[in-house]
Amino acid sequence: MNITPKQYARAWLELIQKKSKKEVAEISKKALEKLYKTGKLNTVSKILREMEEIENKESGISQATVVSAYDITQKDAEKIAEKTINSKNIITTLKTDSQIIGGVIVETKNKRWDFSIKNQLKSLSKKLI
C-alpha cells in the first residue's frame, strides 16, 4: 500500500494534537525514523507543506503571494492581498519581478489576479489585432 504525503500529514497532525512539546518531539522523531526506514524521507517537505495547508484550512487562514514590479512594504502587500481576496486571515508572501513592468499579481493556490502593466499591454495588443 502506497501512503501519500497528504495521508502522512493527516495522521501526523492527528497524533500530535493536544500533546506537550516533549510528546510532539518524540512522535515526530518516530515519524521521521519510519520515513527513513521506508525510504520515504524525501517526502518530508511535501508532508510538512500538507500539514501547513491542513492547519491553515482548519483555522480559516489563506495563503497568498503578491508579486510586484518594485519593492513594496509587507504591510502594503498584505492590504493588497486582503482587498483582492476579500479576507482578513491571509499569510502573505512578497516577491518582486521587474518583468511585469508595473502593478501587481496576486496568487493563491487556486487563483491568480493579474493587475500588471505587462498583462494590460498584452490585453490591449490582442484587442488591436
Same domain for 67 and 111, yes or no, is yes
Instruction: Give the pLDDT score at 60.
Output: 82
pLDDT on residue 119: 92
Supply the pLDDT for residue 62.
86
Greater confidence (110 vs 73) lies with: 73
On whether both 41 and 92 belong to a single domain, the answer is no
Give yes or no for a contact between 94 and 105, defined as CB atoms under 8 angstroms apart: no
pLDDT in tens, 49-92: 999 889 888 888 889 999 999 999 999 999 999 999 988 889 99
> What is the domain count for the chain?
2
Q: Any residues with CB less than 8 A from the CB of 10 and at least 6 apart, and which? A: 50, 54
Give the cell for residue 111. 487563483
Whether the predicted pLDDT of 2 surpasses 90:
no
The mean pLDDT of 15-42, rounded to a whole number, is 94
Same domain, 120 and 69: yes
The residue ranges of DSSP E strands in 20-124, in sequence order, are 62-68, 90-96, 103-107, 112-116
**Is the domain of 94 the same as that of 39?**
no
Query: Are residues 49 and 91 part of one domain?
Result: no
Shared-domain flag, residues 10 and 54: yes
Q: Which domain holds residue 53?
A: 5-58
Q: Is the pLDDT confidence value at 24 over 90? A: yes
The answer to whether residues 81 and 112 belong to one domain is yes
* CATH code, domain with 69: 3.40.30
Q: Do residues 67 and 93 lie in contact, with contact meaning Cβ atoms separated by under 8 Å?
A: no
pLDDT-derived band at 109 (thresholds 50, 70, 90) equals confident
pTM of the predicted structure, to 2 decimals = 0.65
Which helix (H) or strand (E) element contains residue 9?
A: helix 5-16
Q: Give, for 98, the enclosing helix (H) or strand (E).
A: none
- Count the Cβ atoms, other than its own, within 10 Å of residue 129: 5
Is the distance from CB of 113 to CB of 86 less than 8 angstroms? no
Q: 22 and 46 share a domain?
A: yes
